[in-house]
Amino acid sequence: MKQSFFREFFWKHLQGNRMALAGALIVGIMFVTALAAPYISQDPGAIDISQRLEAPNWHHPMGTDDLGRDVWSRIVFGARISLLVGFVAVGIASLIGVIIGALAGYYGGWIDSLMMRFVDIMLCFPSFFLILAVISFLEPSIWNIMIIIGLTSWMGIARLVRAEFLSLRERDFVLAARSLGGRDTRIIFRHVLPNAISPVLVSATLGVAGAILTESALSFLGIGVQPPTPSWGNMLIAGKQTLGTAWWLSAFPGLAILTTVLGYNLLGEGIRDALDPRLKD
């Protein structure tokens, strides 16, 4: 049944959406590039002052920076950082959001009220400024960045899952599972959650793009991934001083961020359209 649903509805609509396919292609290329980084690039930390600030050429297709490091190599290895931050942060946010949303939607009553008030309180704080406040007390590192982004971006997923559970908990298959003596945990994770996972999938795909943007912004401000580890954000700020004479130092990292975020947004929109029952014929 699940394979038939995927083949007849999900893949049918996703395949017919050119923008979604373009997004999937971009994401796939970025993913393969990140995995193949050691084989398709040079050492991103190799310094050669004699080749500093070289414009894009055959040997350095994206030029070199002020220390003579190859920009292409740093872009490729920076993709690993960005994708790692995106997936880990969204994984943490999805886990927290699904658990809180599922418990609130399934049990209702005072549990729902208590959890949703906590969600409302978290939503009162602008996420980026909350991240800045927390990071100011911690050592800037990639692991701290991933954990903090995940811990401050789960509220939307929680509300989506809660709404789905409120709709599904009174369905016949849930009532049948209860009448057969099924435990609440089994009903939640075996019967209800698989039917409520569609909006989580869409939100997670879009969330990866948001996490990459947040990490880039933090690195640009100097409180994210620290040099010499290559990150698209700290590459942008490094190129700011020579923007007038070495445009490639800012242009290529900015283009990498733009392309990756666009790819995930297009893919997320395509998945949402594919899972929207109003578009099924």
- Give pLDDT, residue 9: 52
Q: Which residue has the tokens 């040997």?
A: 59
- Give pLDDT, residue 70: 92
The type of residue at 103 is L
- Give pLDDT, residue 186: 84
- Give pLDDT, residue 252: 93
The answer to whether the CB of 141 falls within 8 A of the CB of 81 is: no
- 81 vs 256: CA distance, rounded Å: 12
- Give pLDDT, residue 2: 47
**Domains, the chain, ordered by start:** 2-279 (1.10.3720.10)
Mean pLDDT by 10 residues, the chain (281 residues): 51 70 89 91 87 89 90 93 90 94 90 92 83 78 87 91 87 81 82 84 89 87 82 86 85 92 89 65 49
- 109 vs 115: CA distance, rounded Å: 10
